[in-house]
A and B are shown apart, each in its own frame.
Chain A
Amino acid sequence: DAKTTQPNSMESNEEEPVHLPCNHSTISGTDYIHWYRQLPSQGPEYVIHGLTSNVNNRMASLAIAEDRKSSTLILHRATLRDAAVYYCILRDGGTGTASKLTFGTGTRLQVTL
């Protein structure tokens, strides 16, 4: 699986937007970019995924660079409940069966009042 690089930690103020970066310079054409997050004492939860175009859902937005070598997860208004570890993961979707999720160490997001 292609590797991703994320900052170890980031801080944000509540109700401010948060941009979480992810570098994936060796991404292949069939790799989808997935984001999961893990709240304290819970299992990871799906946030969003995309291939080439930017994506929006109720939780977040995903902005994908034109060359696909980097992406950014955007939380539009951070709340204290968004404090979590955020994982950027590449999944090969080239065949009908996608590769399994392979987690790195992620970015720990701290949200302060």
Chain B
Amino acid sequence: DTGVSQDPRHKITKRGQNVTFRCDPISEHNRLYWYRQTLGQGPEFLTYFQNEAQLEKSRLLSDRFSAERPKGSFSTLEIQRTEQGDSAMYLCASSQGPGVGYGYTFGSGTRLTVV
């Protein structure tokens, strides 16, 4: 297993366009998390899945954002009608279980630039 994969690594889009990012977690990990990180800040939690169920969403996740994990494997994060404030690194992580002993494995992220 090569870890958590995110695609694309970079995305430049015009304001108002829709974008979709993909995350492939480690195969035996049933928890999947999305975070957003802006320059100089730590990652901020967006949402997470237990298998295919989306269990928590942050207030940061506006109506323009939607995340899915249709078969409990890969996940997608879609941003509709992008705004310049959406420019950030979007990070995906997975973990093997809910216990405190299970660390998160992060991908390298998708850097979004909205022009």
Complex contacts, A93 vs chain B, CB 8 Å: 99-101
Range of interface residues on chain A? 20 to 34
In the complex, the answer to whether B91 meets A98 with C-beta atoms within 8 Å is no
Q: How many A-B residue pairs have CB under 8 A?
A: 61
CB distance from A98 to the nearest CB of B (A): 4
* CA distance in complex: A91, B103 (Å): 11
What secondary structure prevails in chain B residues at the interface with A? loop
Answer yes or no: B93 CB below 8 A from chain A CBs: yes
A103 touches B44 (CB 8 A): yes
Closest to A98 in B: B100
| Partner of A105 from B42, B101, B104 at Cβ < 8 Å | B42
* Cβ–Cβ contact A45 & B40, under 8 A: no
- Residues from chain A with a CB closer than 8 A to the CB of B100 are 32, 49, 91-93, 98
Binds B, one of A10-18, A19-27, A36-44, A68-76: A36-44
Q: Check B21 for interface membership: any CB of A closer than 8 A.
A: no
Whole-angstrom distance from the CB of A49 to the nearest CB of chain B? 7
> Smallest Cβ distance from B101 to chain A, in angstroms?
8
A29 at the A/B interface (Cβ < 8 Å)?
Answer: no
Q: How far is the CB of B15 from chain A (nearest CB, A)?
A: 25
Interface footprint category on B: 20 to 34
> Across the interface, do A98 and B104 meet the contact criterion of CB distance under 8 Å?
no
B45 proximity list for chain A (CB < 8 A): 100-102
Contact B98 A98 (CB under 8 A): yes
Instruction: Given contacts A45-B105, A101-B93, list 11 more A-B pairs with CB under 8 A.
Output: A34-B103, A41-B108, A42-B106, A43-B108, A44-B106, A49-B103, A85-B42, A92-B100, A96-B98, A98-B102, A103-B44
